[in-house]
Structure 1
């Protein structure tokens, strides 16, 4: 079970949002009429929280350095990355086995494989979706990098998707990671293996309160020509001065094919 990953050890309290009262005791009085009032600041943060923000709200948050450093930038394009690595394979020569060992060492160092704090999916909480029939319409010979593949041989691959959440100053508030292991033979996705999610790269000024259960945890039925794995979890962002000001629902879906190809099926909050 995930615990709070940064600073405080308190349990996640769902649905909390910053209030005008909290701001009133933490914000300095306005120096002149042009400065936003506590109520205006509270309302702008609330609209960031519930998705009804306007450009005026964005401009207000940007004008306050303490908030610009911790509030997620809702105007920034989605920043997501996918990568994968072969973990085991049939039919490899001793030379290819040595290459695979080096690839795995590199993948562990770069975070392509799940780390010790990654949360393993609970099998009883997984929801199976219908088998998928889409095929890889443009297979390539380099889909597995330096590890040659002969059709019919079975191999395992781990695919990793991460979504980076940044503030208005560009600082990383957190990264949400999902990992899915799958077996394939060149034409079919044969089965799913272990699946994980994780959070990393916490900003020093933000408490990231992580929900203890996945809101969405699906994988498609196998064997099939392709498959999808999706995970979604709730997080709450809090800072000492302003309290808990945002609840997000980061999610990521990966699409995999019987050829070994992987791609992002979707990601967001």
Structure 2
């Protein structure tokens, strides 16, 4: 009886050690699978030629080959800004550019910049608008100064203002300077590029104006 009892104990002890060894081995194998599987995915992402082309577009180090590669995926190309597109800008105003001596409030100037995709479609139009009072000789006060986006596609994410400055009034002329941060984000590649459109609008007491700026 004693011999049988000892044999049974040795058997269960050995079985327990085997089970523990199997559990440890499985845990080690799973850990290695996750480690090397993750490394493979990361490596594939780093070697994605389109992701690399997008990075160069964002860094302004792109080549024509990069743009052609992105255009090979029309859906993506319609979401990527064309770095070769000419600057498109314009201005609307409440009055003609000729000088006048009338005193009014509600005079306004609206400057805009358009950003186009690699397919030529509009990604967004950024506007900078000022509303002010004048007496024919001076800008007497600012009524409003703000920016806004029109014709925006789903890939456009409007972030904060980087610059928001204005000249003193009353004065013979004064100015407003705004700059907005805009990001372009696509599902597969995330937020791949940032633009900073800005403009400086100068208005005068006689109703004339000038502007300068860039589309970021």
TM-score, L = length of structure 2: 0.71
Contact 1:163 1:252 in 2 (8 A): no
Contact 1:83 1:161 in 2 (8 A): yes
Higher relative contact order (CA 8 A, sep 6+): 1
Change (3 A) 1:230 1:23: farther
Does 1:45 find its partner at 2:54?
yes
* Number of corresponding residues: 176
Pairs within 5 Å for 1:110-149: 142-143=96-97, 149=100
Match of 1:63 in 2: 72
Residue in structure 2 matching 1:166, options 113, 116, 122: 116
Q: State the Cα deviation string for residues 43-73 of structure 1 (Å, max 9, x = none).
A: 2111211222233322332333222211001
CA distance in 2, matches of 1:155, 1:75: 41
TM-score, L = length of structure 1: 0.58
What 5-or-longer segments of structure 1 have no aligned partner? 1-20, 26-36, 87-141
Residue in structure 1 matching 2:180, options 233, 237, 260: 233
Residue in structure 2 matching 1:220, options 167, 171, 191: 167
Question: 1:38 offset after TM fit, Å?
Answer: 5.0
Instruction: Give 1 or 2 for the bigger CA radius of gyration.
Output: 2
Contact 1:61 1:67 in 2 (8 A): yes
Contact 2:114 2:126 in 1 (8 A): yes
Contact 2:142 2:169 in 1 (8 A): yes
Change (3 A) 1:186 1:228: same
Question: 1:152 offset after TM fit, Å?
Answer: 5.5
Does 1:255 find its partner at 2:209?
no
Q: State the Cα deviation string for residues 101-156 of structure 1 (Å, max 9, x = none).
A: xxxxxxxxxxxxxxxxxxxxxxxxxxxxxxxxxxxxxxxxx537xxx95x253443
Q: Secondary structure at the match of 1:57?
A: helix
Question: 1:253 offset after TM fit, Å?
Answer: 2.0
CA distance in 2, matches of 1:80, 1:22: 41
What 5-or-longer segments of structure 2 have no aligned partner? 1-40
Question: 1:214 offset after TM fit, Å?
Answer: 1.1
Contact 1:23 1:242 in 2 (8 A): no
Contact 1:72 1:166 in 2 (8 A): yes
Residue in structure 1 matching 2:155, options 189, 203, 207: 207
Q: State the Cα deviation string for residues 222-252 of structure 1 (Å, max 9, x = none).
A: 2223222111121221122333222221222
Moved segments of 4+, more than 6 Å: none
The answer to which structure has the higher helix fraction is 2
Match of 1:265 in 2: 212
**TM-align CA RMSD:** 2.6
